[in-house]
Amino acid sequence: MDSRRIEKILLGALTMTVIIFLMEINFYNDLKYTTNKLNEILFWSFVRGLVISSSVDIGKQYFSKLKDIFIF
């Protein structure tokens, strides 16, 4: 796997982590967050961001290969 591709996936994952983390914090609207709960929310936000970023990259690679095969 190309290092530029890994950089794009990680950058997308970090960006999505911030967005998902803020959404989770605002969705629960709990004022008594413990450090443990915040760490858990941050971890799962990163995992979700990584999955979303990886799937977008895989889809992008797939459709670029598909476009190269079927030139209209």
10 Å CB burial of residue 64 (0-12, 13-18, 19+) is exposed
Domain count, the chain: 1
pLDDT tens, the chain, 72 aa long: 688 889 999 999 999 999 999 998 888 767 788 889 899 999 999 999 999 999 999 999 898 888 777 765
Chain center to CA of 26: 19
Segments forming the whole domain that contains residue 21: 3-69
* pTM for this model (two decimals): 0.80
